[in-house]
A and B are shown apart, each in its own frame.
Chain A
Amino acid sequence: MSLELTPNDSAIRRDPAAQLALMLAKELWVLKDRQLVLEAVLTQQGIAVRDLVDRYQPSEADRQVIDAARKRFAADVVAALEAPGDRR
């Protein structure tokens, strides 16, 4: 018995990018679940963290930290998609 009985289906299954995307989706869900649990735990302890986070307005200092982290993340995403520097 072979897993390669049908060429189109097999080619899709061999696509590592799709499998990686699902692996990351699983990890993302685990983190989202954990965040929901964390919010529930803190609410039980008297800290309504979900509402506090939703309404939180970053200070100028906070914003600079967040902006810098986001730009770095976006640059990493672009770098992963374009040709590596040593091949330009």
Chain B
Amino acid sequence: MEFQLRQNGRAAIAFLADLAVASSRLRPKIDAELLAKGLNQQTLADDLDERLLQVDAALVGSPSARAVAILSEFSGVNHGRVGQAAFDEILPELEPKLRELQTRGPTTLEARLGDRLPEYQKRCWIHRTTGGWDGHPYQGFVHGELVHREYVAKNYPGDIFAQRREVLSLLPRQDYRRIMEFGTSSGHYTMQLAKVFPQAEIWGCDLSLRMLEQAQRVANEHGWAWRLFQLAAEDTGFEAASFDLVTSYIVLHEIPTETTHAQMREAFRLLRPGGDLLFTDITQYSALDKAAQRWAEYGAVHGGEPFWREAATLDLAAAARDAGFVNVRSEGFRGAKYPWVTYGHKPE
């Protein structure tokens, strides 16, 4: 969707993005400080909680660690606020178009949950977004178009949009007739599904109605006929054996591991025999050294990610096999540590 931010919002978002990039450049200095203090792969504690305390004590008085703490706290609290403020500046001119895109077009949206969200979704303000994930009437646009494109994409390694398309190259088939996406959010991954599998009927679900509304606008703008549902992916209620591919992108670390198991089982139930599963998520801690695990935990704890650690330590391959999948692989994409892909096949 074409839009132009006002000067205030444009400048504020750019400033926050630059702060985050500048902050990340301090991390090697902190790692060097820790090494100089004798904290390395051998001496860092095996237990993660113990390791966090060990590093925290070693960094007392470190100017770089202090700067990172101040900067990441500021970014964590303010990125949502700045995005909302930037959006509110352009709301009057944008709102008619947003309403039209939501109401006119081939994509449908059914709100089946309303406020009856699972307990895990209400546990905290996810990503520390002010007001929570549905905390703004146009939170889907604010997060999808402003925070994700203008802030997250600029301080995350690689092209986060290209990654969504490239992981689909892992799939063995091109002839999927019906695809189910768990955790559609504002539709960034769904767009890639629509482009890579143009013949497929695409269904998507999410807990957040505000995010799905933005996905609906995106689809309608492109003339795509998606079927979107606000419901819990672990309990869709859809007909068994009615999809050829069930997939999600960067969702698993937003849910408890028991829900991941339940989503694996639901995916297996929904797939026709011969169907495929592809779940993509954060790097497993088993692929990281102790220092990198510590940084991942640092970002998760202060970035509003309550389920990060349990997701990063869950054996996803075993979870997929437990659900019934075969030919299971769970590994970094193309030998990298991120993104982490888990593939499974439902036997014929």
| Chain B residue with Cβ nearest A20 | B74
Q: Which residue of A lies closest to B61 (CB)?
A: A8
Tell whether, in the assembled complex, residue B70 and residue A15 are in contact, meaning their CB atoms are under 8 Å apart: yes
A23 within 8 A of B: yes
Q: Is the interface of A mostly helix, strand, loop or mixed?
A: helix
1/0 per residue A1-43: CB within 8 Å of B?
1110111110011010011001101100110011001000000
Check if B65 is an interface residue, CB within 8 A of chain A: yes
Q: A5-B52, A26-B12, A30-B12 known; A13 and B302 CB under 8 Å?
A: yes
Specify the chain B residue showing the minimal Cβ separation from A15.
B70
Contact B60 A29 (CB under 8 A): no
What B residues does A8 contact at CB under 8 A?
Answer: 56-57, 59-60, 65
Which residues of B have CB within 8 Å of A23? Answer: 74, 78
Bound Cα distance A1, B70 (Å): 20
Whole-angstrom CA separation of A26 from B55 in the bound complex: 30
How many A residues face the partner with a CB closer than 8 A?
Answer: 22
Known: A6-B52, A8-B56, A13-B69. A1 touches B11 (CB 8 A): no
Residue ID in chain B nearest A34 by CB atoms: B7
Which B residues are closer than 8 A to A by beta carbons? 7-8, 10-12, 14-16, 19, 49, 52-53, 55-57, 59-60, 65-66, 69-71, 73-74, 77-78, 82, 124, 298, 301-302, 306-307, 309
Residue of B nearest to A1 (CB): B306
Smallest CB gap from A17: residue in B: B70
- Measured between beta carbons, the chain B residues less than 8 angstroms from A34 are 7-8, 11
- Residues of chain A with a CB closer than 8 A to B14's CB: 33
With contacts A12-B70, A13-B69, A26-B78 known, what are 14 further pairs, Cβ within 8 A? A1-B124, A1-B307, A2-B301, A5-B53, A6-B53, A8-B56, A12-B69, A13-B302, A19-B77, A22-B19, A22-B74, A29-B15, A33-B10, A34-B8
CB distance from B4 to the nearest CB of A (A): 13
Complex Cα spacing A29 to B66, Å: 22
**Chain B residues within 8 Å of A13, by CB:** 69-70, 73, 302
